[in-house]
Structure 1
Amino acid sequence: MPKFEVLSADAHSNITIDESKLATTFSKFHLVNIEIKETVQAASEFPLFFSKSPDAKYWTISALCGLAPQENVFETQGTWLGHYAPLSLRTLPFIARVNNDSQQQEILVDVESPAVSSQTGETLFLESKRPTAYLDNKKKLLEERIAAMQQTAVMLNQLNEMGLIHAVDLIIEYKDNTNQRVGGLATVNEQRLQNLSGDELATLNQKGLLNVLFSILGSIFQVNRVIRLHNTKFPGRAVNNIKFETSKS
């Protein structure tokens, strides 16, 4: 289980981060957050869907990396099989949050991460207690991600208001003839997209959202890659096919 602590030179000057162990951390995420700015690149690797944030207050984009919680088929034996690692993974084992009391942004480190060590890897602080170049780079990635998350939330809210987000269920058909229905995901409402006015299409194109929508639609073919990787990693639960149906909930 992750154990996050507020990062400080006094408490964490002796720990190091072994980046080669980060893929082991990735193995626990079957859905990986993708930001708007990453969509085109991520669509060449993963099937992309819309999903609600944990508090259900806003929409996010998720890469489907596994067919069950805590299963990521793009990680195997500590190796990341994807050619691209999303921002949400590259910032690990760090996250940023706003302190409720001071309203200041603070950085937390997962001290239980497999990448955290005291022997090998990148140090976080100099003897002067200033951040190392490695930690500075992680901080920049966190700042980039926070800005990207804010942009994504605003833009996906616009898509939702235009009726372009459509809830779907995944129907996983296993080779033993059993089925499993998975909910909580959404994709592009193609019928609504086809019926957009010229002005609406121009607005989406101007904001760079039209390309995002087509990338998400095209990424659906990456489901075949997920099936292949799943069957290699979990041969005892081999999958024949995955279908999509309009959500009944």
Structure 2
Amino acid sequence: MTRLVALNSEHHRELRIDTGKIERQGANLRMVPVMPGEFLKLAIDYPIVLTKNAETGQFVCVALFGFADGENLYWQDGRWDSLYTPLNIARQPFFVGSGDDGQPMVCVDAHSPCACSEGAGERLFDEDGKATAYLQKIQGMLAQLLDGEKQSAEFVQQLQQLELIIPMHLEVTFADGKAQRVEGLYTVDEKKLQALAGEPLQQLHVSGDLARIHTMLTSLGHIYALIERRNRREATAAA
């Protein structure tokens, strides 16, 4: 069970992070929220799509890892098999919290298997209680995620205003003949996008959202690579 606590240089002076266990935290994730600033790196390996937050009903950008709940086809042989690991995986076990004054602060999951108080691992604070280079790197990631949440919300709002979001009708057939319909995913309506002109199109271009949209659409080609990953996994299991 996750237990978030505010990171403190006194209480967590000896805390270490086993970086070898970080990516394992995403081993059973079918998708993860991603930020517009990551799109170009993500598009090398992952399909980037939209889904709805189960609690708020709001659209959110995600990288798709698999077709079934709990299926991550990028987790292979105990390691993450891709060129880029999404920020929401790489920043584990750290999160952005909010202090009494409303200001963001770094929190850590005290129950995370990545966290340890002895043995090998990256220290967060030196003997003087100052942030180590590793912690500074994590703080940078969290800052990117915090800024990215705002950018992502603005990006989605732009898509909604232009009525560009449509459901994906995704039904895949695997090498063993099994078919699976994948529900709850959305993408950009290419026909409506191509029909845009004048100020709306200029606005997308100036904001950088037009390039992000094209990156998302291009990334959908990785769905075929996901199918192949699933076929290889099933073949290995059968053997």
The verdict on a shared fold, with TM-score over 0.5 as the criterion, is yes
1:76 equivalent to 2:58? Answer no
Q: Is the 8 A contact 1:175 1:237 kept in 2?
A: no
- Relative to structure 2, which stretch is displaced further, 108-117 or 215-224? 108-117
Judging changes above 3 Å, is the alpha-carbon distance between structure 1 residues 9 and 169 closer, same or farther for their aligned structure 2 residues?
farther
- 1:158 & 1:187 partners in 2: Cα distance? 13
Normalised to the residue count of structure 2, the TM-score between the two structures is 0.88
1:105 alignment counterpart: 104
SS at match of 2:171: strand
Tell me by how many angstroms 1:237 deviates.
8.3
TM-superposed deviation, 1:6: 2.5
Equivalent residue runs for 1:93-242 within 5 Å: 93-99=93-99, 101-117=100-116, 118-235=118-235
> Percent identity over the alignment?
29
| Contact persistence 2:7–2:108 (CA under 8 A) | yes
Given that 1:24 and 1:114 are in contact with CA atoms closer than 8 Å, whether structure 2 keeps it comes out as: no
CA distance in structure 2 between the partners assigned to 1:58 and 1:98 by the alignment: 22
Task: Give the root-mean-square deviation of aligned CA atoms.
Answer: 2.2
Q: Give the Cα separation in 2 of the matches to 1:216 and 1:157.
A: 16
Amino acid at match of 1:116: A
Q: TM-score, normalised by structure 1?
A: 0.85
CA displacement at 1:54 relative to structure 2: 4.1
Cα distance between partner residues in 2 of 1:151 and 1:83: 24
Cα separation, 2, equivalents of 1:5 and 1:171: 42
Task: Tell me whether 107-116 or 132-141 shows the greater mean CA deviation.
Answer: 107-116
Partner of 1:36: 36
CA contact (8 A) 1:58 1:157 kept: no
Provide the secondary structure at the position in 2 that maps to 1:150. Answer: helix
What CA distance in whole angstroms lies between the structure 2 residues aligned with 1:140 and 1:180?
39
Contact 2:23 2:90 in 1 (8 A): no
Q: List runs of 5+ in structure 2 lacking aligned partners.
A: none
Write out per-residue CA displacement over residues 2-31 of structure 1, whole angstroms, 9 at most, x where no aligned residue: 333322233322221122222211212210
- The one-letter amino acid paired with 2:114 is A
Q: Paired residue for 2:17?
A: 17
Question: Greater strand share, 1 or 2?
Answer: 1
Q: What letter is aligned with 1:232?
A: R
Residue-pair matches, total: 237
Structure 1 residues not aligned, in runs of 5+: 239-249
Preserved contact between residue 58 and residue 153 of structure 1 (Cα < 8 Å): no
